[in-house]
Structure 1
Amino acid sequence: MLKVKNLKTSYGHIHALKGINLDVEQGEIVTLIGSNGAGKTTTLMSIMGMLKSELGSIVEFEGEDITHCSPSVLVKKGLCLVPEGREVFPKLSVHDNLRLGAFTRKQKAEIKDTYEKVYELFPRLKEREKQMAGTLSGGEQQMLAIGRALMAQPRLLMLDEPSLGLAPNIVQQIFALIKQINEQGTTVLLVEQNAYQALRIADRGYIIETGYGRLSGDAKELRESDEVRRAYLGNVGD
């Protein structure tokens, strides 16, 4: 579904990505793991066209070269990013935030059906649909950010640090919801510092270090790897 080849991106003279390669097959959850500054967020933003990649980089989505497509075009093609920090519109209601997620769609009946599916997945948002997004808790804002992306009916959903800053019990809920979204047919590319939880729900994983792909493989194998445990998982066990 998604193929990234030799992805290179720079911030001025700083080479943030130095040749990232990754594949995401339809129906999978694939996770990108790495320390702060490794290039995880830059990878997602480059795929999404929010950062300009360098000459020689290739990004393909469903067999089409999308390397130089704009974010708005990619949303129409079925690729959506839930950014780090959630980025909800604080002075708009929950319902209006969701409505903005469907801005590329025209069929009112289909949009209404998607509202119902999102509210079924996130019943807390239904309870607060007229509430201003800025008054929601961190966990509720994360649910809203994911729900807003789902309103665009993505085939591939990219999530950047969805557990960041959330209480442990809410983190568990968010990961369970990501798994549920995937089981309902949406492919997921997940960037997450909580490596243990990410590898528990993922099918495969990639480990990025200083702009390079360091390791890749089956999520269970990575979770059980001594090298990965020492570097990213600490002493956490199953």
Structure 2
Amino acid sequence: MIVLLPPSETKRVGGDGPALSLDALSSAELTDTRRELVDDLVALAADRPACRTALGISASQDAEIDRNASLRTSATLPAIHRYTGVLYDALDVESLRGASAARAQTRLAVVSALFGLVRAGDRIPAYRLSAGSKLPGRPTMAARWKPALEPVLAGIAERELVVDLRSGSYAALGKVPGAVTVDVVAERPDGRRSTVSHFNKAHKGRLARALAGTRSEPADAAAVAAVARRAGMRVERRDDHLTVVVPA
């Protein structure tokens, strides 16, 4: 089983690993697209106004541009430790121990706008680029990634179950045939439901943690739902889609 996570806008800075080596990342089929995007970001960092526009940031966030300028030379961290924020706080991978930690390393992966698919242990630097970024004179992120990323994801889906926890913009970078998908809804005492927005990531992080550490090997949506229920989550299933229901 592979659990696909979205990246986060916020990232830990620094690192304890060597500079980025694209050839060392998993899914070598993505190397050419990764290299093109790294080259584009490094070049764009020389034009701060254009870079701010493309990345959707203000002058107070110019440190993000500096990080992009240093993509080839700055220190790296494993991808699963690079990303921060609500989902990754709930996942809390650092607290996993022993066999659970080892399983998390093999099961967790992130789909990002800069690197495409990276596994938990792939070492990457801090950067700024989102699925909605539009680099000057370049196609959209989805247009750039789909031709390379979708065959990789399809190949994984042929071998093992994929649980797709990505948000819409990152799911658009590459579809996964037959993946188990998940949404989160809040239910009021009278039974009315609404889509969870702010805490959606937290509940998906809880699910990712349960799936990362479980001793079982889920092979379908029903088994994924069973893992979630053992973790105390209320889950409904319809075919390959799961709905996590939380109190409003």
**Fold equivalence (TM over 0.5):** no
| Higher normalized helix content (fraction of residues) | 2
More strand by share: 1
Q: What TM-score do you get using the length of structure 1 for normalisation?
A: 0.28
Q: Whose radius of gyration is greater, 1 or 2? A: 2
Q: What TM-score do you get using the length of structure 2 for normalisation?
A: 0.27
